[in-house]
Amino acid sequence: MSIFNLFGKSDDTTPTHDPKDRIESGIPRLDYILKGGFLKGGTYNVIGPPGSGKTILGNQFCFNHVARTGGNCVYMSLLVESHAKMLRHLGSLQFFKPEVIPDRIYYVSGYAALRKDGPEALLSAIRDTLSERKASLFVIDGMESLREFAKGEQQVKEFVHELQAFTALIGCTTLLMCFKDPSYSFTENAVVDGVVELSDNLVGPRAVRELTVHKFRGGDYLRGKHEVEITAQGIVIHPRTEIQFDKPPGQATEERVRMGFGVPELDKMMFGGLPSGSTTALLGAPGAGKTMLGLSFLVEGARQGQPGTYFGFYEPPPRLLEKAAQVGIPLQKYVDEGLIELVWQPPLEHMLDSLAEQLLEKIRENVRPRRRLFFDGVEGFRAASVYPDRMPRFLSAFCNQLRTLDVTTVMTEELPLFRTEIDMPNPELANVVETVVLLRYVELRSQLYRLLSIMKMRESRYDTSIREFKITDSGLEVAATFESAEAILTGHARAAAARDKEGRP
């Protein structure tokens, strides 16, 4: 599948050049960020500190290029480190195929020529090597060494200009890898076709790798910072969710139907259930019943043949199955039948956009209509976010994409255990969801009661009354009337007044 179809993007992701003029890197989602890949014959600066992934990116591009196109690559190092040592380190990565060395990927050192006779000798050696190897991709690793032997930034700029003219003539795409040093002015950025920066920073206690495209001559690209991981696959890039889906379609493509929770009185309060393709927030304190209500929502859909996905951080699948069985929710039955999939992410150091990609890809694997999603713990997204101010834009784009896919989504959000005021801990969530359901505890005469109320439901009628909510061995129950919750007044419990036989106080 093309990278442009992977996420179901809108028309603005169409490459601005003929695909024949592009050379794809094969690095997951880098070509998507560049809207088709690098331009053939272009010259690009790739800058970043040690450990940011420059050498892996350059080698991964070479091996992918050979596998995809059958072209020839030249990888020239200007560093003191030997190729044997570098290749030994690359040997554990999945893209590394030693059988293509040296016939298709030719490793050569330019350091000796540079040190002995300067940039002019290096440029001559490059011309001879590229012509001899008929290279279509050329990588120079260690451009900082060129700066050490060049007579100022002007000579560096002239070197890059002459190299660019030659590689463009023979149709060879070039990557110039350079250590990012504050003392470098990078004057050559003015003449190259593009500038890509890899960074590796500490944000609090977390180490975060990111990629930023600062310039891409002759084509559009996704601006801003994008998450980077170095895995067994090599470099993996996760574009920001809010820029991937910044132009959602104006209206849903599916006919709206009601999607019930399988709790009769709650579905009556919603006049049949949630509108399909909508997003709902379940708010409540720990133990209030959010997870059980969300699982009931998935099971009710499975009863009707609608596929569902559970995505959560805190309870592994065996524990969920056990808890559901204890309250009479037949979750195991539909998991075994393949109608419900349980996806668990341990609450570790995740990457926000990686989580969103994983979930959306999982949903797209099931092409059946009327899909349901129960996302247990929006706070898991917040914990994965390096930049908290991204959350409003991220949630808006993420929820819009789910609507586009006709997914009916229920998300949980944690509230404090006991609090008289009712505030959403994540105010941005209130703006992007259509429905808000509140579950809360109330203490009355030394006993805790659960109460349920619908706080908001866009484009739909709903019952505004507060109802008692129970979790029993035989399932979930919502009281048929508000009478059992009548003791509630502005969030505080009080005993109901005595009434006469006619029901009058």
410-465 pLDDT, tens per residue?
999 988 765 555 666 666 777 889 999 999 888 776 778 899 999 999 888 999 99
Half-sphere exposure in the Cβ direction for 377 (13 Å, CA): 18
Torsion sign, CA atoms 452, 453, 458, 462: positive
pTM of the model: 0.82
Phi-psi region for residue 483, left (φ > 0), alpha (ψ -120 to 50) or beta? alpha
Q: Are the C-beta atoms of residues 372 and 407 closer than 8 Å to each other?
A: yes
Q: Are the C-beta atoms of residues 400 and 251 closer than 8 Å to each other?
A: no
Domain boundaries, the chain: 11-239, 258-439
The CATH class of the 258-439 domain is alpha beta
Crossing angle between the packed helical segments 54-69 and 83-90, to the nearest 10 degrees = 80
Whose structure tokens read 């247990």?
A: 376
Phi, psi of 456 (to 5 degrees): -160, 140
Phi, psi of 48 (to 5 degrees): 165, 165
**Per-residue pLDDT at 7:** 40
**Rounded CA gap, 271 and 269, in Å?**
6
4-32 pLDDT, tens per residue?
344 434 334 444 455 568 999 999 899 99
Radius of gyration of the chain measured on its C-alpha atoms = 29
Distance of CA 323 to the CA centre of its chain: 30
18-70 pLDDT, tens per residue?
556 899 999 989 999 999 999 999 999 999 999 899 999 999 999 999 999 99
Q: Please indicate whether the domains covering 11-239 and 258-439 agree at the CATH topology level.
A: yes
For the domain covering 11-239, report its CATH number.
3.40.50.300
Question: Tokens standing for 122?
Answer: 């290096």
